[in-house]
Structure 1
Amino acid sequence: MTTVHGVFASAKEHRSLESGDIVFAAGDTGAAMFGVVSGSVQLRDGDDVVTTLGAGDTFGELAIISKAPRSLTAVAAEPTTIAVIDERTFIFLVHETPTFALQVMRSLAARIRSLDEIRLS
C-alpha cells in the first residue's frame, strides 16, 4: 500500500522552505494545493494558529475545488519540504491512488472542525 506522502513523489514541483517562510497568505488566489513531505506547516487565522500539519498532511485544497481566495495563511514552522499539487496532478493522484482523495477530504473535515472550535470558543 502506498503511503499518502509517498504519492507526493508524483508532484512535478517540490519546494524547500525555511522556518517562517509563507506558502500563501489569506486572501491570495491559488491554483494548487500542497502536501507536506517533511517538516511542518502552521495554518494561521491572523496571529492565531488554527492547526499545525506534518508529513503526509495536505493543505490549500480549496484552490483545487473552488477559485475563492485563500481563507488562512500557511507558514513553515521549521525547515520543510512541500509538494505542489496542481489540478492535473490532483486528478492523476486520485485516479492512481483513490485513498488520496479520502485523505484530502479527511484533512478538510478536520480543518473545518478546528475552525469551528476556534470560532465557537
Structure 2
Amino acid sequence: MSNDPPFDFSILDRIGAPFRHFDAGEKIFLEEDLGDAMYMVRSGRVDIITYGTVLENVRSGGIFGEMALIDDGPRSAAAMAAERTEVVAIDKAAFLAVLRDHPEFALRVMSLLATRLRRMNKQL
C-alpha cells in the first residue's frame, strides 16, 4: 500500500460520505460489532486491536473496517483513535458508488487485504 498514490478525498466529498472526529483513546468500533461502514483516515492515527494487541496503525489515506462491508460479517477487531483523528465513513451504498465510478479503488482495497493476509501468514 505504501506505493499507492495519495487518495483523492474529493471523490468521497462528491458522494456525501460523512466525516467523523474521534479524540485520542476513543473507540470507533469494537470487535464483534455489526459493521455498517468502512473508514478512511483523513488525519490522525487509528489502532486496530484484538485481544489487547495492536495489529496495525492506520494513518492518513489508510482504510479499515472494509471486511464488514465485503462479507456483512461482524468486526474482526476493534478500532480506536490513537490520537485526535478524522475519518470518512463509507457505508455500503457509498462503497458501491465509489467502486462503480473509480474501479481502481477496488484494487486498493484488495491490495490492502492481500498485504494484511501476507503479514498474518508470516506470523504463523
Q: TM-score range by the shorter chain?
A: 0.7 to 0.9
Using the TM superposition, name which of 2-11 and 51-60 deviates more.
Answer: 2-11
5 Å matches for 1:50-65? 50-65=55-70
Q: How many residues align?
A: 118
Pairwise CA distance, 1:117:
3.6
Residues 4, 100 of structure 1: 8 Å contact kept: no
Does residue 8 of structure 1 match 2:12?
yes
Pairwise CA distance, 1:97:
1.6
Pairwise CA distance, 1:88:
0.6
Cα distance in structure 1, aligned partners of 2:6 and 2:119: 24
Unpaired runs of 5+ residues, structure 1, are none
| CA RMSD, 1 decimal | 1.7
Query: Percent same amino acid among aligned pairs?
Result: 34
TM-score (norm 1): 0.87
Helix, strand or coil for the counterpart of 1:12? coil
2:120 equivalent in structure 1: 115
TM-score (norm 2): 0.85
Pairwise CA distance, 1:116:
3.2
Cα distance in structure 2, aligned partners of 1:103 and 1:69: 22
Unpaired runs of 5+ residues, structure 2, are none
5 Å matches for 1:29-108? 29-108=34-113
Where does structure 1 differ by over 6 angstroms across 4 or more consecutive aligned residues?
none
Residues 50, 114 of structure 1: 8 Å contact kept: no
Helix, strand or coil for the counterpart of 1:74? strand
Helix, strand or coil for the counterpart of 1:4? coil
